[in-house]
Amino acid sequence: MDTIKLIIDNRKARHDYHIIETIEAGIALTGTEVKSLRLGKVNLRDSFAKIKDGEVFLHGMHISPYEHGNRFNHDPLRVRKLLLHRHEINKLIGKIQERGYTLVPLKLYWKNGKCKVDLALVKGKQLHDKRETIARREEKRHLERVLKNTNYH
């Protein structure tokens, strides 16, 4: 049985993009980065993934330096390599070049003691799409409130 513990969820990505497909990837980390992640000191807000020379790298993910780290502490914004199978990378390369999609991390979590990232193939939303999403969510909340306050006795 897989044990999964969420570290952080990138809710802004769900607001700003249409999610086409998701893929789970491992992430290459240093020791102090792992310790900071265990403390939840990470930010995915402006992060994205790029494919360079047949490898996938995560840019813009901020992992705060470990408080008890010494001179070997990590750079908070360093580019981190994502661990994917060759066929997965080739599939992503095809979709990004062909349709102009972007790779954005949706969430970071622990799975069986290893740090994983949910990487999404996304297309940017227009302003009217964002407004439509917000309107739908508000309407859903309103309906739930009405149903909750109405007693069916």
In CATH, what number is assigned to the domain containing residue 54? Answer: 2.40.280.10
Looking up tokens 């739908």 gives 136
Q: Among 14-23, 43-52, 64-73, which stretch is predicted with the lowest mean pLDDT?
A: 64-73
Which amino acid, one-letter code, is at 33?
E
Which of 88, 102, 109, 97 lies closest to 17, judged by CA? 102
In a domain, 93, yes or no: yes
Identify the pLDDT of residue 94. Answer: 84
Domain, as residue range, for 15:
4-125
Q: Among 20-24, 54-58, 64-68, 138-142, which stretch is predicted with the lowest mean pLDDT?
A: 64-68
Residues 100-119, mean pLDDT to the nearest whole number: 89
In a domain, 94, yes or no: yes
In a domain, 20, yes or no: yes
In a domain, 98, yes or no: yes
In a domain, 150, yes or no: no
In a domain, 136, yes or no: no
Of the pLDDT bands very low, low, confident and very high (cuts 50, 70, 90), residue 117 is: very high
In a domain, 153, yes or no: no
Write down the pTM of the prediction: 0.75
Q: Structurally, how many domains does the chain consist of?
A: 1
In a domain, 68, yes or no: yes
Identify the pLDDT of residue 152. Answer: 60
